Amino acid sequence: MSIPQTHLIAYPFPTSGHIIPLIDLTKNLITRNINVTVLLTPSNQHLLPPNYSPLLQTLVLPSPQFPNPNQNRLIATITFMHQHHYPIILQWARVHHLPPSAIISDFFLGWTHLLARDLDVPRLVFSPSGAFALSISFSLWRDLPQNDNPDDPNSVVSFPNLPNSPFYPWWQISHLFRDKKVEQDWEMMRTMFLFNLDAWGVVFNSFIDLEPAYFDHIKKELGHERVWAVGPVLPLDSGTEPEERGEASTVSCLELTTWLDKREDRSVVYVCFGSRTFLTTAEMDVLTSALELSGVHFILSVRVPDERRVEEDCGKISSGFIERVRERGFVIQGWASQLVILGHRAVGAFLTHCGWNSVLEGLVSGVVMLTWPMGADQYTNAKLLVDQLGVAVQAAEGDEKIPEINDLVKVIKGSLGRTKERVRAEELRDAALGAIKENGSSQKQLDALVKELNELKND
């Protein structure tokens, strides 16, 4: 076999929810003979399996530092990466034995548009969110929709130029856009997102049949067809043990599956708010009370606060709760093997914060989703799931709309029946799995992407 010459730099934003799907994508690319170098920081190196393939290499870059504790952490991370990673990558690429053919970078790293220009290669945006969410983002930062009454958090912001004309209360709009206290930071973020509109191409961890109107919209916005929907990029048939993906779980897969094996089909509700969300005390109290009163079997996964969170309101699970629900509740404090849990026949519903990775994992598992978005793209994702796809039921919205305990009990109990949402969930599961099968739409899109990348090398 000839040595592959196409060399892609893959540059994720350094949090697990952004790194893991981009690594999953690179694994798909190397099966198609593409060389990939993933840019990681020391604390994230473990997310890439060692010696996975000679075609998959790593460049380790300095971990972001935060000298100003008052600066928004995301903005501080982007600023550090721009200032400190840029010259290292530039120098590395210029001396590498196989010069890069293109760079694919996270949508938070818009400044890599300038890096790609200096390297004289095209830049692709990797969107760990769906096409609906990125459509909102593009419109937000380019068109700057106005809130006529910014003192009213319920003042409505609309997006009439998008399919289905979505609208949101002001408090659900990205805090990065709403917060103009530091004008320089706001302008920097706008510049980052506008650079994404100038990218050579965009790759989505999504599939065409999930949000077709928004893929058409994105192509129209960009003015070209170089938009690829290649997801869900999940290791479903790759032989990868799901527990090897991401962080180390605090509970073994064997322990989880042994517990789940004793439950009836679709009788368990799985509750998880992702790798970055902490529930407040009020939210945790409502959630645990509803789970206890519902009488259903459940798995509850919650984050454990670290020393940086000592001054924040992070709700804790009482030991009394764990004792009282021991016969029907399984509590995980730390990282959970989510694909293992959702893929088990006993799990019928998923109470989720609607992060895009969780959305896709819920979809491929065919479970009914109960939405409790907390921020970022999650309100958009929840609207897609509930209003447009009909696969989910709204449970709550952030800490602005915490449900009454009895209302949440009703939603939890109702999620395990044979509802219209369950029928739709099974339809979308089949569509998602069909997209990533041989000759499925996502496989064809991936082949088309690889063809374009290989042609770049030959130009």
What are the residue numbers of the active site? 18, 106
Element (H, E) at 268: strand 268-272
Tell me the β-bridge partners of 165: none
Q: DSSP alpha helices (H): ranges in 49-130?
A: 73-80, 86-95, 112-119
As a three-state string, the secondary structure of 226-266 is CEEECCCCCCCCCCCCHHHCCCCCCCCHHHHHHHHHCCCCC
230: Cβ–Cβ under 8 A, 6 or more apart, which residues?
25, 28, 203, 204, 205, 442, 445, 446, 449
Q: Pairing relation of β-strands 201-204 and 123-127?
A: parallel
Dihedral sign, Cα of residue 18, residue 372, residue 375, residue 172 = positive
**Cα–Cα distance measured from residue 26 to residue 70, given in angstroms and rounded to the nearest whole number:** 35
Phi, psi of 304 (to 5 degrees): -100, 120
Grouping H, G, I as helix, E, B as strand and the rest as coil, residue 150 is coil
* Residue showing tokens 């770049």: 456
**CA atoms in the 13 A half-sphere facing the CB of 275:** 18
**Cα–Cα distance measured from residue 211 to residue 205, given in angstroms and rounded to the nearest whole number:** 12
CB of 34 closer than 8 Å to CB of 61: no
